[in-house]
Amino acid sequence: MNVLLSRKDTVRLLILSELVSKKEANQRDIARKLRLTPQAISEHFKELVSAGLVRVVHKGFYEVTDKGVEWLTKNLFDLHVFSEELVKKLYSKSIVAIASGNLKENSKVLYWYSDGFIFAKEVSDGNGNGIALMSAQDGEDVLIKPLEGFEPPGKGEIIIVKVPDVGEGGSRKVDYEEFSKLIKSNPKKIVVALGVEALISCRKIMVEPIFFGSKEVCIEAAHHGCGVIVVCTESMLDSLLVSLVDENLVFEIISFQKK
């Protein structure tokens, strides 16, 4: 990374960049832009010409040679790799949130957990806990730089609804009025189903639950602070409970079986 360690190479890169980006550029204009004295810019151009990186077009005007383009390309690529790695490290300490309202880049925000997700909103009283690293519209994903410690979410509530095995009546034995009330009163909870009988019970009240990988979804969602309703066929209940206990997750069991 000589271009960052050597002032001469840094100035060389800036001069070559100016010559490439402009159709015609002279010493005076470049000196003014880079805040160099006429004597200093003259010395730099003498070295560039001597190194074969630029050639004189006419008095005071220059263009980059193929060798100069090659030198510039290599050093710009090195800078790109360096900056990309650095940005990745900086972003790895950032948080991806969902914008609650429109956010402006560099504005102070308050971010918090809700229903398993992180949300962020702009604040004007200075009591925020992060900075928005980009602009975002309401509901968009946005990158947040934390300013202070952040309290992780508590574990989500898990409600288990038992459904009889098909040999014991299966979905036919569910009290759908009570089952539907539970679902409607918990609109933000994720609904998962373990077992075909549980899946059909959900579909009978027009709910399409997560079925494949449902146990893993339940555990991960609860750890992120999201509430879960697990509709579980009775023969699969013991296996589910063992997993929840192993994960130190709290749950309650409800049965809506018809009498």
Assign residue 209 the CATH number of its domain.
Answer: 3.40.1010
Q: Of 91, 116, 134, which residue constitutes the final position of a domain?
A: 91
Domain of 21? 2-91
Domain count, the chain: 3
pLDDT, one tens digit per residue, over 191-206 is: 999 999 999 999 999 9
DSSP codes of every residue in 66-103: HHHHHHHHHHHHHHHHHHHHHHHHHHHTSEEEEESS-B
**What's the mean pLDDT when you consider all of the chain?**
88
Whether residue 83 lies inside any domain: the answer is: yes
The answer to whether residues 205 and 121 belong to one domain is no
The pTM score is 0.57
**Residue 73, domain CATH:** 1.10.10.10
Which among 3-12, 109-118, 153-162, 202-211 has the top mean pLDDT?
Answer: 202-211
DSSP codes of every residue in 157-213: PEEEEEE--GGGTGGGGB-HHHHHHHHHH-TTSEEEEESHHHHHHHHTTT---B-TT
Q: Tell me, what's the pLDDT at 87?
A: 60
Whether residue 81 lies inside any domain: the answer is: yes
The answer to whether residues 75 and 112 belong to one domain is no
Whether residue 152 lies inside any domain: the answer is: no
Which residues neighbour 56 within 8 Å (Cβ) at sequence distance 6 or greater? Answer: 49, 62
The answer to whether residues 19 and 39 belong to one domain is yes
pLDDT, one tens digit per residue, over 46-96 is: 898 899 998 888 777 888 889 988 988 888 888 877 776 666 565 556 788
The answer to whether residues 138 and 165 belong to one domain is no
